[in-house]
Amino acid sequence: MATDQARSDASEADTYDQFEDRVRRISNVGNAAGILRWDQEVVMPDEGTPARAQQLSTLSSISHELLTADETGALLSELESADLEDEQAAVVREVRRTYDRETSVPGELVEEISATASNAHPTWKRAREEDDFEQFAPTFEKLVELKREYANHIDPDADPYAVLFADYEPYIDLETAERVLERLRENLVPLIDAIQESEAQLETDAFAGEFDDDDQEALARDVLDSLGYDWDRGRLDTAPHPFSSGTQFDARVTTRFEEDDLLGSITSTIHEFGHANYTQGLPDDGYGTPLGEARDLSVHESQSRLWENHVGRSRPFWEHFLPIARKRFPELEGVTPEEAYEAANQVHDDNLIRVEADELTYHLHIVIRFEIERDLIRGDLEVSEVPEVWNDKYEEYLGVRPETDAEGCLQDIHWSHGDFGYFSTYSLGSVLAAQLYAAAEGDRGSFDDQIREGEFDELNGWLREHVHRHGKRYVTPELIERATGEGLTADYFLEYVTSKYGELYDLEYVTSKYGELYDLEDD
Cα→Cα distances 9→3, 4, 75, 484, Å: 10, 9, 15, 37
- 3 state SS of 132: coil
Cα→Cα distances 165→1, 135, 298, 491, Å: 49, 27, 11, 23
Handedness of CA 305, 206, 228, 328 (dihedral sign): positive
Q: Which residues pair with 509 in a beta bridge?
A: 519
**Rounded CA gap, 409 and 131, in Å?**
10
Catalytic residue among 169, 272, 293, 339: 272
Render 227-286 in DSSP notation, one character per residue.
HT--GGG--EEE-SS--EEEETTEEEEEE---TT-HHHHHHHHHHHHHHHHHHHTS-GGG
**Rounded CA gap, 41 and 25, in Å?**
25
The H-or-E segment that residue 6 falls in is helix 2-42
Please tell me what DSSP assigns to residue 182.
Answer: H
**Rounded CA gap, 327 and 311, in Å?**
21
Handedness of CA 160, 161, 166, 167 (dihedral sign): positive
**Rounded CA gap, 254 and 269, in Å?**
7
Rg of the chain (C-alpha set): 24
Instruction: List CB contacts of 385: < 8 A, sequence separation 6 or more.
Output: none
Instruction: List CB contacts of 415: < 8 A, sequence separation 6 or more.
Output: 124, 140, 143, 373
Q: Which residues fall in the annotated binding site for Zn(2+)?
A: 271, 275, 301
Is 175 noted as a catalytic residue in this protein?
Answer: no
State the catalytic residues. 272
